[in-house]
Structure 1
Amino acid sequence: MSSPFIRIEKSVPHSPYPLIPSVPNSTMPSISVSLSLKPMSSLSSFLSSLSSLPHTVRDTEVPLLFREPYILSGYRPVGHSWSFYFLSLFQIHNETINVWSHLLAGVCVALRFSVFAVMYGLGLYLDLACLPLVYYVLSLLTYLCCSATAHLLQSHSELAHYALFFLDYVGVAVYQYGCALALYFYSSDPAWRRSRVGEVFLPAAALLAWLSCACCCFAKLSYLHPYPLHRKLCQVVPTGLACLLDSSPVAHRLVSRTWGDDPAMTLHAIQVLLFLLAAFFFSCPMPERFFPGHCDIIGHGHQLFHFLLSLCTLTQQEAVFEDFLSRRASLTREYGECRLQVAAVSFPALVFCSVLTAVIMRRLVERRLRKEDSWGEEVERG
């Protein structure tokens, strides 16, 4: 017997998408809330970690090794965990600008080179003509990263202080020789290369780069507060000679050429000016010498040195890029593959020698600190 009720079924059109099972409305708010709370809880824990960091202290509360002339406050206490010094990247202290200026410059260098490589095909193939440019950019990133790391973490302990600044000096030596390679192959004129300086340029640049690393490490190891004048001379003289030699191709070009037909000339001139200003603030503790305690966080000479050196690096990179584009096609024919191959081997050799020097100096420091500790224990027992 048929039912008196008629069942009507609505036809549902076929959908190409799979049916999604419905979720009860009661569970939806809890899912969205839990998803939104996860980043919030991570952020709150990060902020609480920052707020729990020890406050900065005055110069009288840190050992002599960590003090800088005329900088009276903003020091991080010594002897805390490594995590404290990593997190101090987001804390205000007298090294904050030193760290961030070189970190941001390193990011700019890497991004600019990536764009340049994509635009001009360096990512598609790498020949001998490109190798000095790659070494140059690697040397920029090396010195910027080593410098930022040293200034960020050096307050951990006496051994860390010495070892990290030895690493910083390695970065300086690597940059000096990477810069010498780029300026020799891309920015020099034939007349300069035929001169006496041009004939000995690359081996002399490698020797002075290593010597600047070794002398800076020796000065750091040998002289304590109050720093004598010959400590600064031991650092500045070999480094200054290396920089004078490395910039000689550009100096010859600036003097002997007209600037109008070469877009790189203005960039090279600006870079030289910025470097001279940076060298002045590195050599002289100004303006904090005249305002002790007033330039501790912002405005002391080493911060100005870092800032000007970052601008100098970015300007020089643009100038080298311009020179590379104008020389790339004829580079192998002009210099020969043999000279480019020697340069390709000499760069890692310089890196190895500089790192080895820093490792030896670190072991000397470790031995000296161990002797000082044992001597202190004997005095306490006696």
Structure 2
Amino acid sequence: MLVRAPLDLFRMVLKKITVPLYRDYEVTTAVREVGIRSGYRPECSSALQCVASLFRNTNETANFWTHFLPSVYFTFHLLSSFRYEAVYLPVAAVLSMACIVMACSSRSFAGLWSQKCLRILSFVLPYMWDNLPLVYRVSSEGLRNSTAGSLYLGQFLAMMLATFFYGTHIPERLAPGKFDCLGNSHNLLHLLGTLATELQRRAGFADMTARQGMYVPRLSGVTSLAAIICIALTNTAIMAAFIVHLPQDKTTRSH
């Protein structure tokens, strides 16, 4: 009863917030996606509309939740194990901020390929840096731990599939309008990316367990936590800066 009352109130508030949805020909080319015909949100929405849209059947709803829920899951595991190297973490922090800038600024470019390149680059850069220790490890020592080796191979396969679907816009390219809100290449990118991250996390822990005596932590848990908080706040500030400078009204409708 204590949980149901707030949920009912939340539903009532959501129902009062109007979030119009548009077809592809009603929005500017900057936000159109190949094969996605419907479910587009207003290009300039209020904060309440943005929140309400997370619970509506838009073509970005699944993308948000497949980003947000895995991030909560991986943050939990991250906070439970503070193990970073002195150089690895600072570079990862810089890359995370650079990727936020690239992802947000991609909407400012008119060309579809310019947008696509920036978005892909915002994923590729951290992925390459994230896997650099693994490449060094494999090239210098091989994968003696068969459990970790299988998991590492699985994460590479998952990322290859994610890249394939996102780059080809399959399946929505083959059946336009059928995968507007669920099952499109963007959804598959998030799901396969989450799978790859989880496989890599499990492989890393398997490796650390097998090689525990070889590892000497250089940063304390408090230092790592402080770094994570600073990075999160900085990235939030970057996104806020882009939101503030959004144009007032870019949505165009056909009459």
Give me the TM-score of the superposition, normalised by structure 1: 0.50
Change in 2 beyond 3 A, CA 1:87/1:353: closer
The offset of 1:324, in angstroms, is: 3.2
State, as a whole percentage, how many aligned pairs show the same letter: 27
Q: 1:68 to 1:329 in 2, by over 3 A?
A: same
CA deviation map 1:21-55 (0-9, x unaligned):
xxxxxxxxxxxxxxx6x876655544444455545
Matches within 5 A, 1:304-323: 304-323=188-207
> Could you say what secondary structure the match of 1:247 adopts?
helix
Letter in 2 for 1:91: R
Tell me the residue number matched to 1:100.
Answer: 65
Check conservation: 1:214, 1:357, Cα contact below 8 A: no
Asked which structure has the greater RCO (Cα within 8 Å, sep 6+), the reply is 2
TM-score (norm 2): 0.70
How far apart are the structure 1 equivalents of 2:180 and 2:160? Answer: 23
Deviation at 1:72, TM superposition (A): 1.2
Aligned residue for 1:132? 84
| Aligned-partner Cα distance in 2 for 1:270–1:74 | 33
Compare CA radii of gyration and give the structure with the larger one.
Answer: 1
Q: Supply the distance in 1 between the matched residues of 2:190 and 2:175 (Cα, whole angstroms).
A: 20
Asked if the contact 1:211/1:238 (under 8 Å) is kept, the reply is yes
Aligned position for 2:242: 362
Q: Closer, same or farther in 2 for the Cα pair 1:50/1:212, shift >3 Å?
A: closer
Q: CA 1:309–1:220 in 2, change beyond 3 Å: closer, same or farther?
A: same
**Inter-CA distance 57–218: structure 2 relative to 1 (3 Å threshold):** closer
Amino acid at match of 1:220: R
Aligned to 1:289: 173
Q: Which residue identity does 2:131 align to in structure 1? A: S
Tell me, yes or no, if the aligned pair for 2:145 and 2:207 is still in contact at 8 Å.
no
Gaps of 5+ in 2: 251-255
1:278 and 2:165 are equivalent in the alignment: no
Q: C-alpha displacement at 1:359, in angstroms?
A: 6.8
- Which residue, out of 127, 131, 134, partners 1:247? 131
The separation in 2 between residues aligned to 1:236 and 1:352, in whole angstroms, is 21
Partner of 1:220: 107
RMSD between superposed Cα atoms in Å = 4.4
The alpha carbon displacement at 1:93 in A equals 1.7
Segment of structure 1 superposing worse, 295-304 or 347-356: 347-356
Partner Cα distance (1:357, 1:67) in 2: 26
How many angstroms apart in 2 are the aligned matches of 1:215 and 1:329? 40
Tell me how far 1:277 sits from its aligned partner. 1.9
- How many positions carry a matched residue from both structures? 246
Determine whether 1:71 maps to 2:36: yes
Counterparts of 2:74 and 2:212, CA distance in 1 = 20
Structure 1 stretches lacking a partner, 5+ long: 1-35, 123-129, 136-176, 182-201, 374-382
Aligned in 2, Cα 1:351/1:61: closer, same or farther, shift over 3 Å? same
Distance of 2:185 and 2:129 partners within structure 1? 25
Following superposition, the deviation at residue 296 of structure 1 comes to 0.3
Q: CA offset at residue 307 of structure 1?
A: 0.9
Q: Secondary structure at the match of 2:159?
A: helix
Larger helix share, 1 or 2: 1
Q: Which letter maps to 2:191?
A: F
- 1:44-193 → structure 2 map (5 Å cutoff): 44-54=8-18, 56-77=21-42, 81-110=46-75, 112=77, 117=80, 130-132=82-84, 180-181=88-89
